């Protein structure tokens, strides 16, 4: 895909990907603000950040993402493409963005359960929007999705099925960590985790369907494709 893109288009697409990282990180931070649990992939870092407060949630996310990248290398070996090492600096960016998002999310009032639940729902929608932008950018996968794809490729199992198992494994691992670190108590995993697990994908599909075609036409360096899209829309409007 990347070989067919001009340098200017690649720059625009990576710029969009960085923007998507910030929005996704803000979604994680807003969800965290509700203190009702976070998305499955962030659950283990969330538990660690609550027990070992010397590192922020963003820092633990960096550690977790780097572990997932190492897992990809171990699984794929010679088939691991060097371009995927871009996941490392992007993981650092995501971690830093999450900490910035946490500062912004502190401005949100969460005085009662309803407002906390609202923060979880709002954060899930923001996260879904951010992921949909990364889908539209179409340059590199985040470390979580890339790890799932690596497992899927090696095991020759369906990506969607592996993703479900991966999410369940994340939550299970976070629960075990919580039991070990908090005297057999479940901490950092609540109904917000379930909400994020069930509805993030729904939000991604919704925003992708809504914006992907428009973003593709804006990002693409192929004027012919843009003209065809514009002509088609003009014809639809006329008819």
Tens digit of each residue's pLDDT (9 = 90 or more) over 189-232: 999 999 999 899 899 989 988 888 888 888 887 654 444 444 34
Given this model, what pLDDT does residue 223 score? 53
The percent of residues in the chain predicted with pLDDT above 70, rounded, is: 91
Given this model, what pLDDT does residue 135 score? 86
What confidence tier does 111 reach under pLDDT thresholds 50, 70, 90? Answer: confident
The count of structural domains within the chain is 1
Dist CA 90 CA 214 (whole Å): 25
What is the pLDDT averaged over residues 55-81? Answer: 95
pLDDT digits (tens, 9 = 90+) for 129-175: 999 999 888 888 889 989 999 999 999 988 888 988 999 999 999 99
Instruction: Write out the residue range of the structural domain in which residue 166 sits.
Output: 2-238
């Amino acid at each position: 895909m990347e070989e067919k893109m001009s340098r200017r288009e690649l720059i625009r697409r990576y710029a969009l990907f960085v923007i998507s990282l910030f929005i996704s990180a803000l979604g994680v931070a807003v969800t965290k603000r509700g203190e009702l649990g976070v998305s499955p992939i962030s659950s283990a870092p969330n538990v660690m950040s609550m027990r070992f407060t010397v590192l922020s949630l963003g820092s633990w996310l960096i550690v977790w993402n780097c572990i997932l990248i190492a897992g990809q290398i171990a699984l794929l070996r010679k088939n691991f493409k060097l371009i995927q090492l871009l996941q490392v600096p992007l993981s650092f960016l995501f971690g830093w963005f999450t900490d910035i998002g946490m500062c912004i999310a502190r401005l949100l009032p969460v005085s009662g359960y309803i407002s906390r639940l609202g923060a979880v729902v709002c954060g899930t929608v923001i996260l879904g929007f951010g992921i949909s932008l990364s889908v539209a950018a179409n340059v590199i996968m985040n470390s979580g999705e890339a790890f799932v794809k690596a497992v899927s490729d090696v095991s020759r199992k369906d990506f969607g099925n592996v993703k479900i198992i991966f999410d369940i494994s994340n939550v299970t691992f976070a629960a075990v960590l919580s039991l070990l670190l908090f005297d057999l108590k479940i901490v950092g995993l609540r109904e917000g985790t379930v909400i994020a697990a069930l509805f993030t994908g729904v939000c991604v599909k919704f925003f992708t369907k809504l914006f992907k075609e428009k973003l593709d036409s804006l990002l693409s360096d192929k004027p012919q494709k843009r003209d065809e899209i514009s002509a088609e829309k003009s014809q639809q409007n006329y008819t």
